Amino acid sequence: MTITAASGKGKDPVAGAKASAAGSRPDGPKTSRRDGSKARKWAEVTLFVGPALALFLVFVVYPVASAVRYSFYKWNGVEQFGDADFIGLDNYRRALFGEGIFKTAYTDPFLTALSHNFAIIALSMAIQLPLALLVALMLNRKFVGRGFVRTIIFAPYVLSEVITGVMWFVILDPNGIATKLVEGVGLHPPSGGWFEDTRWGFWMVFFVITWKYLGLAIILFLAGLSGVPAELQEAASIDGANWWTVQRRINIPLIGPTIRIWAFLSIIGSIQLFDMVWVLNRGGTVGQYSTVASYMMDKGFYRNDFGYGSAIAVIMFLVSMVAAMAYMYFILRRDNSAQAQN
């Protein structure tokens, strides 16, 4: 090799320019492959997410937006919506801050129905939760016929709300089995029926709700208990802990996320409770066990006040959304952080 060749001198400048230009060109095949990969990715996203998104927009977003729109009008649902009168926030005002005849006809019944929803939530946390937890802890032990007992307890949840409501409506009828049994032991049942009595109506409905949904809570708690390591319970028993101490110190704390999920489902279900109450005489003749959903149905569809009924639906939606957001922010985030740390 000569000195000129080693130093790079003497090379053809035209060839060097061509090589430099060739090195600076973009890689055509790689770019096209990258673009094709992105196109396939978006096609897959559209294929799998598109139908679900379309259903969500049609059956969730559109009805909610329509309800919000209708709530600003006085509309009976019969005439053309274009002929309805725009009244702004008057429907919400009637529901929450009515005065005079509006307070008697709209505000008081709505607030009463809303108080029933919150009462059911409170009673569910105070009665259903400890009862379901106690039964689940008992059924978590091994005994003969445990599977059959679990099936019997879960069976009421499988029944539809309509079947359950009609069944208990017949049992607690003024001439039903429950009335005959009470009379047989020398007591005096309500003369107008258990559900129509202003003292017993709400409690009878809560009893039916508990009978119907307690099995779901028990099954959820049993599923959570099945994930508790048996080694922890055995170690505690060896150290001298009795059965109740093992449940209180080990099992119950470890199924805390399951309990909180059930509590969230119970709260949302109590806010939206409708089927059972509607079957049991539409919330009562004087609204003694009405809920927000049954009150909305009565005013909106049976009294042809679709604008006011839509306002009630929007209020119920906002209450449910606030409850869901509070659960996600204060509880679900904490549970996810704890799982991430573990």
91 within a domain of the structure (yes/no): no
**What token pair was written down for 176?**
């039903």
Domain count, the chain: 1
Contact 250, 228 (CB under 8 A): yes
- Helices 201-226 and 108-123, axial angle in degrees (round to 10): 40
Q: How far is CA 194 from CA 168, 175, 179, 210, 288, in A?
A: 10, 11, 8, 16, 11
Taking the C-alpha atoms of residue 292 and residue 85, their distance in angstroms, rounded to an integer, is: 25
Q: Is 261 within 8 Å of 176 (Cβ atoms)?
A: no
Q: Does 286 reside within a domain? A: yes
Confidence at residue 146, expressed as pLDDT on a 0 to 100 scale: 87
Give the CATH number, domain containing residue 171: 1.10.3720.10
Q: Is the pLDDT of residue 166 over 80?
A: yes
In a domain, residue 139? The reply is yes
The verdict on residue 205 lying in a domain is: yes
User: What's residue 1's pLDDT?
Assistant: 44
Percentage of the chain with pLDDT > 90?
56
Q: If you average pLDDT over residues 261-277, what whole number do you get?
A: 93
Burial 289-318 (b: 16+ CB within 10 A, else e): bbbbbbbbbbbbeeeebbbbbbbbbbbbbe
Domain assignment present for residue 258? The answer is: yes
Of residues 250, 14, 209, 237, the one with CA closest to residue 121: 209
pTM as predicted: 0.83
Question: Who's near 162: CB < 8 A, 6+ residues apart?
Answer: 275, 279
Chain segment 214-253, per-residue pLDDT in tens: 999 999 999 999 988 888 888 988 888 888 899 998 999 9
What is the residue-averaged pLDDT of the chain? 87
Q: Which residues pair with 73 in a beta bridge?
A: 86
Six-digit token string for 261: 């999920």
Q: What is the pLDDT of residues 298-320, one digit of tens each?
A: 999 888 999 999 999 999 999 99
269: nearest Cα among 331, 323, 335, 204: 323
Span 136-143, average pLDDT: 89
Q: Give the pLDDT score at 21.
A: 46
Q: Does the pLDDT value for residue 2 go beyond 70?
A: no
Q: Which domain holds residue 322?
A: 110-341
Q: Does residue 267 surpass a pLDDT of 90? A: yes
Is the pLDDT assigned to residue 18 strictly greater than 50?
no
Look at residue 17 and tell me whether its pLDDT is greater than 70.
Answer: no
The answer as to whether 76 is a domain residue is no
Q: In 3-state terms, what secondary structure has residue 74? A: strand
Q: How confident is the model at residue 7 (pLDDT cuts 50, 70, 90)?
A: very low
pLDDT-based confidence at residue 125 (cuts at 50, 70, 90): very high
Task: Give per-residue pLDDT as tens, 24-60.
Answer: 555 555 666 676 788 888 888 888 898 999 999 999 9
Check residue 325 and report its DSSP letter. H
Q: Is 241 helix (H, G, I), strand (E, B) or coil?
A: coil
Compute the average pLDDT of residues 261-274: 94
pLDDT recorded at residue 4 = 44
In a domain? residue 249:
yes
Per-residue pLDDT at 30: 60
- Would 49 be classed as within a structural domain? no
Residue with tokens 């449910």: 320
Beta bridge partners of 74: 85
Contact indicator for 258, 220 with CB cutoff of 8 Å: yes
